[in-house]
Structure 1
Amino acid sequence: MTNPRVATPDRAARPAPAAPRSLALPRFERHALANGLRIEHAERCGLPEVSLHLVLECGAGAEPPRLGGLGELTARLLTAGTPGRDAMEMARWLDRLGVGYRATAGYAVGAVSMHFLSEVFDEALEFLAATILDPGFPEHEVERIRRERIDEIERQADDPATVAGLATIAELYGDGLYGRPVAGAGATVSEIGPEAVRDFHDTRYRPRGALLIACGDLDRERLLSAVEARFGAWSGEAAPVSPPETPEPRAKGLILIDRPGSAQSEIRVATVGVPHNTADHHAIIVANAILGGLFNSRINLNLREDKGWTYGARSSFRFRRGAGPFIARTAVETARTGPAFEEVLREIEAMRTAPVTADEMTLARNALTLSLPLQFETAAQICGKVSRQRVFGLPDDYWETYRSRIEAVTPEAVQEVCRTYLDPDRLTLLAVGDAATAEPTLDGLGPVDVRSAS
């Protein structure tokens, strides 16, 4: 008997893609303790892991401007000792449990994230309670962490990309909240002492206003019983951090920060953007993907692939409770500073004056939606996404409807948001580089304000 002949596949032809995976999210149940601590929980069996995400209204917007960086410094000090354990004992406790612990502060909120095996849940929650309810903030640890932070700031002053980023937000927002680095500047961090840290913690680390998100191999009864036992006696309220007023975006000419001897110029084209929860949010996301949010975006294909002037060019709208910035950024050989500005501005103007192509729309939609399920694979990822929804007041179905809303964006909507938010008369241009080489390339871009980097 002979075997039937099997057709040989055409290996020169690309296989047809599979149907897009649907986004299946676990269902979160909402609870609250009597003290006001809100809890959201989703049981997710299959892997013996748990992620916790505690969100607190303790961002930079809650700190005095003269003590900028206080929220970040407080977050870094949470594991630096309790009345019963010093910093080394806390570190050994964490290592023994095998727990991932991270505390951060943003402009509006701070967050403590933990990830661990479900079998150590009770002791992991005990560790979380110790750091949130009873941190000691010993003077020598405050001094050590403060010194580390000042050293970081001093090192960042030697990084032209950081200098460009900080100078850009200062130009856009002035003395406002978003014009300051979220982790503070050298002059403000130097003023922070133990009492300031303790006062900030006493005021902002409170249950009413806080949210605990839990996802993983953990049932509701076990979670609620343990949280009540550890956090039930916690008391107080922290009011939400209000967004700052939005400054009127306006062009400020071209600012050139002199960094003698730099082989490259860091380039920024920026303006005041929009809050996260804005009506044309999804159109803005698609527009930015086409302009500078993807590798195949217009400014990257122009400056990197066509011109060969840079390793990469990107843009982003930074969504916050208030109007965060839009920033297009790249780094080019210093002699290409002016031409690079011209190309970025030309690409922005093209987005404003003509609809994008069907191929660009397809690429952007696919890039933004087909990878979405990969962003919800782990308990930690899910907690982070839910946290984002709650912090910015997004609808409960934000992620479930994300794909359909992105796919509903039209080329005309993309053009309209570019017209609305990327007005050339409101763009700030800034470069950090060797002024002697860069300035002669800037003819035609308007008056140049040359400043010292120091």
Structure 2
Amino acid sequence: MVVIAVENPAADIISGRIFVRAGGRWERRDQAGLSYLLSAVLTKGTDKLSSLEIAERIESVGASLGTDASTDYFLLSLKTVAADFPEILELAAQLLRSPSFPEAEVELERRLALQDIRSQQEQPFTIAFDQLRQAMYQQHPYALSTLGTEASMSSLYRGDLQRYHQTYFRPDNIVVSIAGRVAPEEAIDLVNQAFGDWQSPPLPLTGLDLPKITPNPTWMATAQETQQSIVMVGYQSPSVRNPDYAAMKLINTYLGNGLSSRLFVELREKLGLAYEVSAFYPTRLDASQFVAYMGTAPENTAIALSGLRKEVERLCNTKLSVDELQAAKNKLLGQYALGKQTNAQIAQVYGWYETIGLGIEFDSRFNVEVADVTAEMAQEVACRYFIEPYVSLVGPSAAINTVS
């Protein structure tokens, strides 16, 4: 087990992030949503404590403890005043090591997850993103949301959770990241007390044999009688471990981050095309995606698509000016610094980097790599990835059928 401890005496608070190398990327397609369901029931009982007893322990000291399932990791988060941290860390260890997965709780959370899946199937943005993601990633786990599908979630049961837990929840697959009013040596001692007798199985952990992601840009359209069209373009993009990662993060900031971004200014402010317009480039272990999207009036669907593609792909032909490049760097690095103000944020960043194999030193290296990006480098990266997009449209049939 890897332990990261950062002392920050500014406030009498300690935050912990316990990462498990699990999540959607480690799920078979027919079991998509397994990590999400496990996160929902992990806190509902152990072999010694009931759901009510767990809640009482947390609430009696005013602490917070929660779980989350992401594409590339499973997470247990905790936060307490310093005096109560040993008790809550011990509770977290019980939850991670010996959850009981009560049958009634599993069934309840499965039904709630199915309701969420059905609800999302009615939301235009979710429909557009789901069909884009499935086209881009095909049989790779990234093709599906952390909730999975209605079919996969319906087929999950308590035994599936137990087997998944036995496979991935082991000390050599866990990173514990702690930040707050605690000396590093003391933090490590507390982790030893809570987890020290937990032994890893003798056999090494092996992941899934993931399919190769083969680019095949396509157009997808779903007719839905809505008041606006969702127009979305997606481009295969580098993983966090790719040398192009920092430059792509900078491009994403320039194009789609905030009210001063290029997409917002050009397509919403100047042309009045967009109800909303933005872009995102998620950090991923495997190949990621750059996605630009717009909500627009149905009669503007075709011109909105043309505008999105023009603004993204122009970066291959037009270098960023000195001012544009510096403004994007200032915004990206400023937001990155603001994202590490609290103990919880510090524990999250360091734990995440260690979990994906980059190490905590990537925190400093990322700043340097962003600062070193030149206009020429940004243009080269844009030309490498912004070639032919996947296109996803959702809106009235009369609007999307006219787009070609």
User: Is the TM value for this pair above 0.5?
Assistant: yes
2: CA distance, partners of 1:315 / 1:340: 14
SS in 2 for 1:376: coil
SS in 2 for 1:136: coil
Match in the other structure for 1:428:
390
What aligned pairs does 1:297-446 form with structure 2 within 5 A after superposition? Answer: 297-394=261-358, 396-424=360-388, 427-440=389-402, 442=403, 445=404
User: Are the equivalent residues in 2 in contact too, given 1:169–1:179 (CA < 8 A)?
Assistant: yes
Matched to 1:55, the amino acid is: F
Match in the other structure for 1:7:
none
2: CA distance, partners of 1:384 / 1:81: 25
CA shift for structure 1 position 357? 1.8
1: CA distance, partners of 2:252 / 2:208: 27
How large is the Cα RMSD of the aligned pairs? 1.8
More helix by share: 2
User: Are the equivalent residues in 2 in contact too, given 1:304–1:313 (CA < 8 A)?
Assistant: yes
Q: 1:242 to 1:417 in 2, by over 3 A?
A: farther
Match in the other structure for 1:255:
220
Q: 1:301 to 1:374 in 2, by over 3 A?
A: same
State which drifts further: 136-145 or 430-439: 430-439
TM norm structure 1: 0.84
1: CA distance, partners of 2:326 / 2:208: 37
Which of 81, 93, 97 pairs up with 2:57? 93
CA shift for structure 1 position 317? 2.1
2: CA distance, partners of 1:54 / 1:234: 15
Structure with the greater alpha carbon radius of gyration: 1
Match in the other structure for 2:6:
42
Matched to 1:431, the amino acid is: L
- Deviation sequence 1:48-93 (CA, Å, 0-9, x none): 1101111112212322321111111111111111233322222222
Give the gaps of 5 or more residues in structure 1: 1-36, 446-454
State which drifts further: 54-63 or 376-385: 54-63
Match in the other structure for 2:32:
68
User: Are the equivalent residues in 1 in contact too, given 2:229–2:296 (CA < 8 A)?
Assistant: yes
TM norm structure 2: 0.94
Count of residue pairs the alignment pairs up: 402
1: CA distance, partners of 2:368 / 2:16: 29
User: Are the equivalent residues in 1 in contact too, given 2:175–2:355 (CA < 8 A)?
Assistant: no
State which drifts further: 285-294 or 209-218: 285-294
What aligned pairs does 1:114-125 form with structure 2 within 5 A after superposition? Answer: 114-125=78-89
2: CA distance, partners of 1:423 / 1:295: 26
User: Are the equivalent residues in 1 in contact too, given 2:318–2:379 (CA < 8 A)?
Assistant: yes
Give the gaps of 5 or more residues in structure 2: none
User: Are the equivalent residues in 2 in contact too, given 1:50–1:216 (CA < 8 A)?
Assistant: yes
2: CA distance, partners of 1:405 / 1:111: 28
SS in 2 for 1:101: strand
User: Are the equivalent residues in 2 in contact too, given 1:243–1:321 (CA < 8 A)?
Assistant: no
2: CA distance, partners of 1:327 / 1:60: 20
Match in the other structure for 1:110:
74
2:241 is aligned with 1:272:
no
